[in-house]
Each structure stands twice: as structure tokens, then as C-alpha cells.
Amino acid sequence: MHRTITFLAVLTFIFTSSALVHAQAGIPDEDFQKGMNLYETARFAEAAEAFKRSIKRDNKNAETHYYLANSYFRMYRDRDAVKAYKQAIELNPNYLLAYNNLGTAYHRLGDFRQALNAYEEALRIKPDYAEAIFGLGVVYLELKDKDAALKQHERLAAIDIERADRLYDYINNKISLPVLNGKALSLPEPVYPALARAAHASGVVFVWVSIDETGKVISASAVNGHPLLRPVALAAAKLARFSPTMLNGQPVKITGIITYNFHADATNPAIRPMD
């Protein structure tokens, strides 16, 4: 249920934004406008019929196919949605929103590889498109590639902290990331920033890390905590070193969490695993 709600929320935003663009274009099509009105009142089956009538009149309008696909998606007719999104893309090969929502439909169908391809195409068109990066992170998690999911979180954190936090919440609900503090050979303490102290910023910061076969941190992303404390926690986490993790006698990559607990009345934060 959590996954469905997340993706429906993303799709609603995309639909509304694109609808405004279409309305501003002043396209004279009574069936199209009727379909839009029906969609906005959650009458998706009727909206789909209106969009299909519009397509019969003009089957070269990419946006009408896109909105038909959105209607199908809302009715959980995901295979029909995929066909309609593809038609929109065929008519407009740079249709960012259609690629993004195609990834969403493929995700719900369980076709994660096709979902990855669709999201990557969206990012080819707009490399900093947060919705597609979010989708990639979730799909990589479905494919059990935690390292790749972490990289998407890093990308999101640089452009959209709120959405990056949503991605971490989603991931945290799906898998358990171990706390790694106790496994560290070296765990440098972050310096408490003067600005953070002046603001009385305190509390726990979680840094999600990927560690290679030698025990070196190769990627990291702060996933929660006060905004003034995240950068120093992230910088410290990148300097941590761990003993190699062995599996069947071979060193392997691992991912997990380093926690930093900042106290406003201390020179440096105390660092400890969470209970």
C-alpha cells in the first residue's frame, strides 16, 4: 500500500502540471476538455472514453494519448497505460512526463528492468528530474541493488532534500539497514559547526553508506537529521574505515547506517549506535 500511495502522489503532480501546460496552449477540442474535467473529478472511465473520442478525431496528438494513459493508470489498467504512454512517446520522442509515468506503470506491473529503462530515458531528457530519480531509487531497491538505490538518494539529496527523505523512508520500510558504528576500525568524529551550535541544532543524523571489499566507504548520503548537521556528518562518514566483511571466505560490499548523535552542549558530538 505504501508503494502505491507514493507513486500515485507522484503521478498526480505530473498530471496536474502537464494539464496546465495543455490548457495554456488553447487546444480547441471539446472531447479533450471534457476528458480533463472528468479526470479531475476522478471519473476515470468516462475520462478515458472522452480521450479516445478525441484520439479518433486526431490520433497524432501526443498529449491526448498521455492523458488517456494516465486515466488507464488510475483504473489499474496498467498494460493499457503502457501502450498509451508508448504511443505518446512515439509521437513525441522527448516526452519527459510520458517516460516517467511509463516507468511508474512498468514498476506496478513488476517489470523492473523496463521501468529502469523508462526512468533513464526521462533522465536523458532532464538529468535533474527528481521524480525519475526517485523512481529509479525505488526500482533499484526492488532489484535488491542497495548500492544503486543509495546513489539515487545521493543524487536526490543534492537537488531535493524532501524527496530524498521520502526515498529513504520508503527504503527503510522495505529493508533493514544495519547500524555499522560498532564494526568500524576508524570512525572520525564530525566537528560541531558554529552555525549549528548558535542555532541549538542537535539530535541524531543517519548517514547511509556503501562499503567496498577493503572496508573503505565508497558512497554516502545523509538520510535524516538537522540540515545544519548533515554536511559534517556526511564528511565524517566518508572518512570511516571498516574491516572487510567476509562471505564464504570472500570479501564483499555491504551497505548500512552510521549514526552521529549531536549534543548542543558538547564540543564534539557523541557517536554511538542507536538502540
pLDDT tens per residue across span 20-35: 444 444 455 899 999 9
Q: CATH 3.30.2420.10: which residues of the chain?
A: 181-262
For the question of whether the overall pTM of this predicted structure is more than 0.75, the answer is no
Q: Which fold has domain 2-174?
A: 1.25.40
Residues of the chain with CATH 1.25.40.10: 2-174
Count CA atoms closer than 13 A to 120's CA, side-chain side: 8
Domain topology for 181-262 = TolA/TonB C-terminal domain (3.30.2420)
Question: Strand, coil or helix: what is 209?
Answer: strand
Q: State the sign of the Cα–Cα–Cα–Cα dihedral 37, 42, 46, 51.
A: positive
pLDDT, tens only, 220-243: 988 888 999 999 999 999 999 999
189 contacts: CB under 8 Å, gap ≥ 6? 236, 260, 268, 269, 271
Of 72, 73, 65, 52, whose CA–CA distance to 10 is shortest?
73
- Rounded distance, CA 89 to CA 21, Å? 17
Residue 52, burial from CB neighbour count under 10 angstroms (0-12, 13-18, 19+): middle
Beta bridge partners of 11: none
